[in-house]
Structure 1
Amino acid sequence: MPMNTLYADKEPTRAEVDALPGATVIEFGAPWCGFCRAAQPLIEQAFETHEEVRHLKIEDGSGRPLGRSFRVKLWPTLIFFRDAQEVGRVVRPGRVDEIRKGLAQIDQPA
């Protein structure tokens, strides 16, 4: 499953996220966010070797319940899940190795 380049039209519910099997990354951000746009090449590079990881790109903002349920405060925030359990997060990544480290944690069988 390749990296998503577009924000989802509709965010999943927390219950849907809590039921996701396997390796998942949720990326919270906004299309107009400069930090989010600057991080896209790093995220793309990291996902080149992790195509089997599910990537959900969620537009976040005031009144958006999913981001609030995960206490997201800055964008982009990438949260790494293994079988619906958060195992790490990266906030405003500045280096590709930060993202690769999170991917490595979830891309292995538990």
Structure 2
Amino acid sequence: METHYRTDAPTREQVDALPGAVLLEFGANWCGHCMAAQAPLAEAMAGHGALAHIKVEDGPGRPLGRSYRVKLWPTLIFLRDGQEVERLVRPLTAAPIADALARIAAPAP
């Protein structure tokens, strides 16, 4: 699990090309809502160590966040083979995060 939001975000094309299950998280290191979501996120991520987790610092003029129409932080986007499967905004508990992780980690129907 990533612990800090990266300022060097990948491009949308790079994210769209990622194989398998990926959790894309948008936020900022100073954001109170983002800090509050870290404990539930860590709880939900337990057992998903192989899953790619990309934390991207978001804000005005950041192209990756704008391409996903991110409005509030943190926004968690669950991807499978580059396609959005689910999205959670400001999750407060581990259960919805764990459910979404299970959906992207499961084999595609």
**Normalising by the residue count of structure 1, what TM-score does the alignment of the two structures yield?**
0.96
Q: In the TM superposition, what are the counterparts of 1:1-110 in structure 2 within 5 Å? A: 3-110=1-108
Partner Cα separation in structure 2 for residue 101 and residue 21 of structure 1: 20
Deviation at 1:109, TM superposition (A): 1.6
Deviation at 1:9, TM superposition (A): 3.6
Partner Cα separation in structure 2 for residue 9 and residue 88 of structure 1: 24
Q: Which consecutive segments of 4 or more residues in structure 1 shift more than 6 A?
A: none
> How many residue pairs are counted as aligned between the two chains?
108
Deviation at 1:49, TM superposition (A): 1.5
Gaps of 5+ in 2: none
Gaps of 5+ in 1: none
Percent identity of paired positions between Structure 1 and Structure 2: 58
CA RMSD after TM alignment: 0.7
**Normalising by the residue count of structure 2, what TM-score does the alignment of the two structures yield?**
0.96
Structure 2 counterpart SS, 1:25: strand
